[in-house]
Amino acid sequence: MANRGARVMGNLNILYVEDDPRAADAVQALLCRDGDRLAWEQTGTAGLQRAGAEAFDVIILDRMLPDIDGLTIVSRLRGAGVGTPVLMLSALGRSENRIEGLEAGVDDYLAKPYEPQELVARVRALHRRSGGAVHGAVIIYGAFECHTKARTAFRAGKHIPLSPREFALFRYFMENAGETVTREMLLRDVWNMNFDPQTNVVDVNIGRLRRKLEDGFATPALETIWGAGYRLTRGE
Partner 1 sequence: MTAARSRKRSIFGQLTAASIVIAVLAVVVLFAVTTITVQRQTRASLAATVATDMAGLIDIYASGGREELLRRVADRQAVVSLETRRSHYLVADGSGRALGGDQRRWPQINAAQSEQGFITLADGTAVFAQGTRLSPDLQLLVAREYASDQAALMVLSAAFLGVGAAIIAGVALVAWITARHLARRMNAVNAALGAAADGRSASFPARQRGGDEIDEMAGHGTRLLARQAQLLKAYKQVSEHVAHEVRTPLMHLDHQLGAMMLQQPEPSGAHGGGPLALAREDIRGIATMLDSLLDIASAESRRGDLAGLAQIDLSQLLENLAELYEDSADEAGLMLETAIAPGITLLGERMQITRLVSNLLDNAIKYVPAGGHVRLSLVAGPRLVVEDDGPGIPRDQHERVFQRFARATVPGDKPGHGLGLALSRAIAERHGMLLRLGDVPRGAQFILEPAP
Q: What are the residues binding partner 1 (CB under 8 A)?
A: 20, 22-23, 26, 64, 91-96, 99, 111-116, 165, 191-201, 204-205, 207-208, 227
Give the chain's radius of gyration (CA, Å): 19
Asked if 162 and 170 touch (Cβ cutoff 8 Å), the reply is yes
Q: Which is nearer to partner 1, 37 or 183 (CB)?
A: 183
Asked if 4 and 139 touch (Cβ cutoff 8 Å), the reply is yes
Q: Is the dihedral of CA 93, 186, 223, 205 positive or negative?
A: positive
As a residue count, the chain comes to 236
Shortest distance (Å) from residue 125 CB to partner 1: 21
Q: Which is nearer to partner 1, 98 or 155 (CB)?
A: 98
Please calculate the CA angle 175-181-183 and round it to the nearest 5 degrees: 130
Shortest distance (Å) from residue 187 CB to partner 1: 10
Q: Which is nearer to partner 1, 6 or 96 (CB)?
A: 96
In this structure, what DSSP letter does residue 72 have? Answer: H
3-state secondary structure of 129: helix
Q: Which is nearer to partner 1, 32 or 99 (CB)?
A: 99
Peptide bond into 66 cis (omega under 30): no
Q: Which is nearer to partner 1, 96 or 132 (CB)?
A: 96
Please list the residues that pair with 16 across neighbouring strands. 40, 60
Q: Which is nearer to partner 1, 22 or 149 (CB)?
A: 22
Shortest distance (Å) from residue 68 CB to partner 1: 15
Shortest distance (Å) from residue 137 CB to partner 1: 25
Shortest distance (Å) from residue 52 CB to partner 1: 26
3-state secondary structure of 188: helix
Residues with Cβ within 8 Å of 218's Cβ and at least 6 positions away in sequence, in order, are: none
Shortest distance (Å) from residue 64 CB to partner 1: 5
